[in-house]
Amino acid sequence: MKRLLWHCLILIALVTVPGCSATRPVAVSREALGTVVSVTAYGPDTAAVRDAIDRAYDAMAEVEAQLDSHDPASAISAFNADPYEPTVPPDDVLTVLDEIAEAGVADEFSPALLAVTGLYGFEEGGRVPDAGSLATALAASRGFGCTGDGMMAFARLSDPDARLEPGGPLAPGLDLGGAAKGLALDRAREALKASGAVTAALISTTSSTVMLGAKPDGSPWRVGVEDPRDLDSVVAVFTFSGDGALSTSGDYQRFFEADGKRYHHILDPATGLPARGVRSLTVAGSSLSGLRADILSTALFVKGAEGAVEYAEQHGIALYAVDAEGRAHLVPAPGGSGLSVAEQATPLP
């Protein structure tokens, strides 16, 4: 009888110890996707949760190996090495292109701005491109399209400018830097879900976040939006009761100043110039994928505050934007979506 009691006690211990750890998450932060990615995951078996998190980072690395156009060994760089040769693009590129079309933002989100972005030299301190080079790179970027049989390529310009040759500074190329993080976070979330070990999780980079399931204590996931002119202050907070995605695009994330003007990394595909009118724009939705959220934050930034608000209202997407004058624009989430957004403070003027 005593022995049975001991067995029962041990059994209870085995059941309750993992039960306790289900309310304490495993939190891991690692360098990935050219930034730091944090994963907070809940599950009854801590070792299995850790294992699942490793798989999630593997999944993100796979997306990076496809879509990082700054890595010469990536699949997208292989495509870019010979941009005029009709080729079937890597699978993840096709996934992103389909999503841009489905979101209806092809005028604002261009997958083909590699040479245009490169002219600004954001990685090397920044420079204002001369108007001629900008026009040439922009014209070349517009030549991207299908050539038949699932193949794609850039059309050669009739202008025989040596700088447009493969490897040249104005040679066109694909750059999915405005979407790759979102897709990578989706794949990481899928890996956590597929493990069967994770009941709830939040995966975040500085600009994008995805949530899986509800926290075991029932409290919502909270994601703050920083003031684009005071990165230590939070100006809005999004709360999610379960699944969801959020993405922020900002003119403060990569920029330089010249002649008293801020040149930042989100370019208007119509002009090749930094999109003006918005400082920061966040979209969120409980049924949005990370990929859709990432594409939309970039595209709606280009649309400008008014167009962005209109799009968000029409598509049932929550939005918080700070315009060029420091005014906040808020579109609440649809009722019953499990998502809410509240202003926390007034952004700096």
Q: Which residues bind ligand AMP (CB under 6 A)?
A: 108-110, 113, 117, 175, 177-178, 207, 249, 253-254, 265-267, 269, 294, 297-298, 302
Of Mg ion, ligand AMP, none, which one sits near residue 177, judging by CB under 5 to 8 A according to partner kind? ligand AMP
Q: Cβ of residue 208: shortest distance to Mg ion, in angstroms? A: 7
Among 118, 178, 269, 290, which residue interacts with Mg ion (rule: CB under 5 A)? 178
Of Mg ion, ligand AMP, none, which one sits near residue 226, judging by CB under 5 to 8 A according to partner kind? none
Q: Cβ of residue 300: shortest distance to ligand AMP, in angstroms? A: 10
**CB of 294 closer than 8 Å to CB of 182:** yes
Distance separating alpha carbons of residues 173 and 289, to the nearest angstrom: 26
Site string for Mg ion, 134-173 (x = CB under 5 A): ----------------------------------------
If the CB atoms of residues 184 and 331 are measured against ligand AMP, the closer one turns out to be 184
Distance separating alpha carbons of residues 260 and 252, to the nearest angstrom: 15
Of ligand AMP, Mg ion, none, which one sits near residue 99, judging by CB under 5 to 8 A according to partner kind? none
Q: Cβ of residue 105: shortest distance to ligand AMP, in angstroms? A: 9
Angular region, 319: left φ>0, alpha ψ -120 to 50, beta rest: beta
User: Burial of 222 by CB count in 10 Å (0-12 exposed, 13-18 middle, 19+ buried)?
Assistant: exposed
Among 294, 323, 333, 341, which residue interacts with Mg ion (rule: CB under 5 A)? 294
Residues 1-60, interacting with Mg ion (CB under 5 A): none
Q: Cβ of residue 343: shortest distance to Mg ion, in angstroms? A: 23
SS3 of 74-137: CHHHHHHHCCCCCECCCHHHHHHHHHHHHHCCCCCCCCCCHHHHHHCCHHHCCCCCCHHHHHHH
Q: Cβ of residue 249: shortest distance to ligand AMP, in angstroms? A: 3
Q: Cβ of residue 247: shortest distance to Mg ion, in angstroms? A: 6
Distance separating alpha carbons of residues 57 and 47, to the nearest angstrom: 16
User: Does 251 sit near Mg ion (CB under 5 A)?
Assistant: no
Of Mg ion, ligand AMP, none, which one sits near residue 209, judging by CB under 5 to 8 A according to partner kind? none
Q: In the structure encoding, which two tokens stand for residue 240, read together?
A: 């999610």
| Region near Mg ion per CB under 5 A, out of 136-144, 175-183, 217-225, 265-273 | 175-183
Nearest partner of 233 among 339, 338, 328, 122, judged by Cα: 328
User: Does 117 sit near Mg ion (CB under 5 A)?
Assistant: no
If the CB atoms of residues 192 and 300 are measured against ligand AMP, the closer one turns out to be 300
Residue with the CB atom nearest Mg ion in the bound state: 298
User: Does 298 sit near Mg ion (CB under 5 A)?
Assistant: yes
Q: In the structure encoding, which two tokens stand for residue 326, read together?
A: 């420091």
Which SS3 state, helix, strand or coil, does residue 240 take? Answer: strand
Pairing mode, if any, of strands 318-323 and 278-285? antiparallel
Q: How many CA atoms lie within 13 A of 109 on its CB side?
A: 28
CA angle in degrees (0–180, nearest 5) for 109-31-115: 35
C-alpha radius of gyration, the chain, whole number: 23
If the CB atoms of residues 66 and 297 are measured against Mg ion, the closer one turns out to be 297
Question: Which residues pair with residue 321 across a beta bridge?
Answer: 281, 329
If the CB atoms of residues 99 and 294 are measured against Mg ion, the closer one turns out to be 294
Of Mg ion, ligand AMP, none, which one sits near residue 286, judging by CB under 5 to 8 A according to partner kind? none
Of Mg ion, ligand AMP, none, which one sits near residue 79, judging by CB under 5 to 8 A according to partner kind? none
Residues that bind Mg ion (CB under 5 A): 178, 294, 297-298
